[in-house]
Amino acid sequence: MNNCSIFLNSKKLFKFIKIYSYEVLSNKGSIFSELIASLFFPILIQLLTWTYIYSKNDDILLYSREKMILYIIITVFLVNLNNGHDIIYETSNRIKSGLIDTYSIKPIDYNNFQFFSFIGKNFIVIVISLIIISSINIIFGNLLFLFPVIIFVLVSQYICFQLSYIFGLSSFWFVNYGFLTFLYYSLTNIFGGVLLPIEFWPEPFQTILRYNPFRLTVSGIPDLILNPNIYSFLQLSALFLFYGILFNLIIKYLKNKAINKYISYGG
């Protein structure tokens, strides 16, 4: 990609951010309900649960009550930030209706359109999440990892987009959008570390949980903040790079297969 195309894409991304940020800010009721339903209640419920558990224990698997509270706060913010529902839903609907074909003749292809829309809609949440997560890292973590944590939060958005887009493209073969969304959320909650930190799982499962892509969107970042060490940093860096490249290849493969499927049906 040359400098000119990077500049043009940056301008397009800025426009999407501006449009969707204005749309979000203009609907104050949705902001309030989003904060209450998606952030306040999940954090409150988990805090009450873990407060009761820790009333009978001091530390559980090297997690103190304070450490667990911080883990809950960070993961809830990241789950809301890295939410691929709209990508799966919109891509699935456009595939079924045939509207996805129209992007082949538009100034921006569907892949970039969906990514820019995703970032635009999430921009307010990105800013809030970065402030909260960076503050936790500054107060409770290691300042040496502050910049990597910020970069990882931003890159986790791209990994989330890729994962969700792959699920969305699967609508070429799976008609039921509800099944794809259910599968995505189930895998995120189980393998992402939403329910429990990796250390709480049986030893045979920990390897799978530690190296799966869903961890990059949820529990990998709080693990680096709460257990800062160079090994975790290098591991996360390698995983982000590996899955970023792998998912790009998978997306290209699925798009090529989808074209052949369209042609085979006379589309």
Q: Report d(CA 73, CA 77) in Å as an integer.
A: 6
pTM over 0.85: yes
Taking only the tens place, the pLDDT of each residue in 84-94 is: 988 999 888 88
- For tokens 């558990």, the residue is 53
- What residue segments make up the domains of the chain, in order of their start? 10-264
Q: Report d(CA 130, CA 21) in Å as an integer.
A: 16
Which sign, positive or negative, has the C-alpha torsion 135, 138, 140, 143?
positive
Taking only the tens place, the pLDDT of each residue in 149-183 is: 999 999 999 999 999 999 999 888 876 778 888 99
SS3 percent helix, strand, coil of the chain, rounded to 5, is: 85, 0, 15
Consecutive H or E run containing 235: helix 230-264
Q: In sequence order, which residues have a C-beta less than 8 Å from that of residue 9 and are 6 or more positions away?
A: 1, 112
Q: In sequence order, which residues have a C-beta less than 8 Å from that of residue 13 and are 6 or more positions away?
A: 116, 119, 120
In whole angstroms, how far apart are CA 71 and each of 43, 50, 196, 232? Answer: 10, 11, 9, 16
pLDDT at 107: 66
Q: Report d(CA 167, CA 92) in Å as an integer.
A: 9
Residue 112 has a CB neighbour count (10 Å cut-off) of 15
Tell me the pLDDT of the chain averaged across its residues.
84
Side chain identity at residue 58, one-letter code = D
Taking only the tens place, the pLDDT of each residue in 103-146 is: 666 667 888 888 888 888 888 889 999 999 999 999 999 999 99
pLDDT at 166: 94
Mean pLDDT value across residues 59-88: 89
